[in-house]
Structure 1
């Protein structure tokens, strides 16, 4: 990270213990402008590298990150609150993403377009080439900061761009160390920089005329603000925003496995703070009671505690404020007629995983994204009605269908207005080589190392007149 003085510093606090882990600079707008100016120089350096050299740098960085996997995972668990087993998996995913983007750097293919399709142009030749966009701003969220950083930063460098990364305000320290690792791997300092700070940093990067693209994973409200600020300079905006993923459990489903998918993919993954976790469960009347029994019995066995402890399934949320917001959402569901049958107790930033039943499908609280370990369960009688309930949401990230009937699965999936459908599994599924994103207020972008690298390039058309004269 480029060393800068700053008038103020931001404390990074362990949400499990309230221990201060360190500080990072809270950069001013002027300092952000200086970072972007250096990034323009860095982008020219990276763009001049042959593809095999960019691939080598990314593979070297991946090897070095893998070499520090355990230390990075422990630091991430301390500052983020997720159990160590999950942060280890996150660092592993980042390593795979760096290696995947390294391969994509060597596969930025152009096209040869036959001009003899147009009368009078038969003797000419047209080809396209892929070129980098310029300086890319990567705005990274707190819930999966290392993995989502990798999707943005590694793809940007693979395509020949420079990247300015804004780490999450509450857990930036792991990315600070990874930035140092990239320097050690030989990535030019100007081409990979961190801009730490709060909302003012994000806003300046979005509106800066020398930033060619901004990639944000975050809330829908943040996405709207970033898009508005980016509009004046016509930069490319890639948004992966809120989600309110639903699961449809049909009468022929394996209810025990479906319940386990909710427990492991929602209540015990990322402490419930995942955009693609199941946040609404619609269960057929015929299997409702059996499903709820399975869900509550499995969820009751989850261990809530310090994320550093190996026995912990669910750690603290990112802050006490975040836990209080989830607690309030549970209270609103109960006020609307839902019944809390398990959990929901809060202790500081900790919140015991909650299961609610008899949730009215018209409850405004059910339409909101609850960012914590909460599983609201509603009923349906007709699976196609359930599809309408799922689609009656401003979000459209992913959805899950549980049924043994393949034809029904595809019929329902085809009608769901979402970016991805998981059949007989949890929506908390994100494979780095698949396009990931959603419809409506989820933002519309797709992220995955193949898709992202392409998104961070532009096409140029070259025409050779009389090439076949």
Structure 2
């Protein structure tokens, strides 16, 4: 098996060590990936720094065409890249294909935003002191970006780092998760086909501990991180940098008495467990109004038990393995801890190697890890509430605040949810797991700071620069 190169300033390179990538489901080796040396990491950062001025001055059409090229090539290679996602992450193939489709859209959106990113003109003669003056406002990049991406979306979350950076004209050094580097390297190959200048993009797989120098390097003034609670430590290590953090959560779905219970049960069952629950906005807490609690829970458990679980290469599989056995053991330990504390196990709770059976718990006591922390596994925790007031209070009781879903037909309740729920996004009539890649996406509290979504990320990676012109007759 040949060792796969990484991408150093847009060119293939090999380093001084390797990462072995194994299939989470069966443990077989699927690839070895070259890891850059300390000198090569320095070379990538120096190249990004040296390219910053050229990258910022790239014509819009050059940036847009590079992004459009990647979008087209991803679409052409969907099956191949979906297979890579499944092989290294264990994500069921149907969800891997969906991830490629979303990434196609991310690069297309970025290309479109690049072409229409024209800034604005402001007339300043609205007051006497501004007579004869006009302002032009444009956005310019804050500087080269360090992107750090997680294992659970090894393509789409990399796309959300790279595409906005290219769109604003910022070089980026991307460090993919060490468990899932191959998909990011495939994307690096497509980027190498474009006319982007050297130094614009580097994709550097490495163990997490090797990234310390990147985090603190002043030549990378912007850090975009998606992952666990280590993000707060990253912010502490780089206090003078602009840091965006997407750190997950324990998303809640509220089911009220007027909801379509069949729809809610199907959606919550699926999106609490698909990809083995390893989704930042996957449903974890299910908050159900007392009037429909018993009827809804019966339907939910039935739908969970019917989810196809097992081999991720099977096109019918919805729930595959966790990323490794350590993660699977932790999830089951948290379930057992809740049961021993008084929770009722309605279904699931078993582990077969790296696969955890889709699980539903009820009556988990306050303070249980399955309620308070991010399980990041196929576990749903059902809570009974008296009505809307208590339901929204339970949503807000979390230390996290990424997204929430509210199943209701009441327009007033929908607007109240948007007004009161302490989260970055509220989805009415569906699970909190819904995300359109062009909309602002991010959280509050322990869920992080800043926003993804193509336009929002472009704004986050750039700042407004104003030019005032004097002596202009309008």
Into which bin does the TM-score normalised by the smaller protein fall? Answer: over 0.9
Matched ranges for 1:68-87 at <5 A: 68-87=77-96
> Which residue in the other structure is 2:231 paired with?
223
> Which residue in the other structure is 1:420 paired with?
425
> Which residue in the other structure is 1:431 paired with?
436
> Which residue in the other structure is 1:290 paired with?
295
Once the two structures are superposed, residues 22-57 of structure 1 have per-residue CA deviations (whole angstroms, 9 ceiling, x without a partner) of 122344544322211011233333323210121111
> Which residue in the other structure is 1:374 paired with?
379
TM-score by length of structure 1 reads 0.95
Kept in 1: contact 2:62–2:195 (CA 8 A): no
Q: 1-side partners of 2:234 and 2:173: how far apart?
A: 15
Say if 2:360 is the partner of 1:329.
Answer: no
Gaps of 5+ in 2: 1-6
Q: 1-side partners of 2:421 and 2:149: how far apart?
A: 28
Aligned length: 465
Matched ranges for 1:43-62 at <5 A: 43-62=52-71
Q: 2-side partners of 1:369 and 1:169: how far apart?
A: 21
For structure 1, which segment, 238-247 or 355-364, has the greater mean C-alpha deviation from structure 2 after superposition? Answer: 355-364
Kept in 2: contact 1:164–1:192 (CA 8 A): yes
The match for 2:187 among 175, 178, 185 is: 178
Once the two structures are superposed, residues 272-304 of structure 1 have per-residue CA deviations (whole angstroms, 9 ceiling, x without a partner) of 000111110111122111111111111111122
Could you tell me how far 1:364 is from its partner in structure 2?
4.5
Q: 2-side partners of 1:412 and 1:50: how far apart?
A: 43
RMSD between aligned alpha carbons?
A: 1.7
Kept in 1: contact 2:14–2:35 (CA 8 A): no
TM-score by length of structure 2 reads 0.94
The match for 2:265 among 254, 259, 267 is: 259
Could you tell me how far 1:311 is from its partner in structure 2?
2.4
Q: 2-side partners of 1:246 and 1:396: how far apart?
A: 9
Matched ranges for 1:172-251 at <5 A: 172-219=181-228, 221-231=229-239, 234-251=240-257
Q: 2-side partners of 1:87 and 1:43: how far apart?
A: 34
Q: 2-side partners of 1:16 and 1:120: how far apart?
A: 69
Kept in 2: contact 1:384–1:412 (CA 8 A): no
Q: 2-side partners of 1:454 and 1:413: how far apart?
A: 23
Q: 2-side partners of 1:264 and 1:384: how far apart?
A: 27
Q: 2-side partners of 1:5 and 1:465: how far apart?
A: 54
Kept in 2: contact 1:249–1:284 (CA 8 A): yes
SS of residue paired to 1:137: strand
> Which residue in the other structure is 1:114 paired with?
123
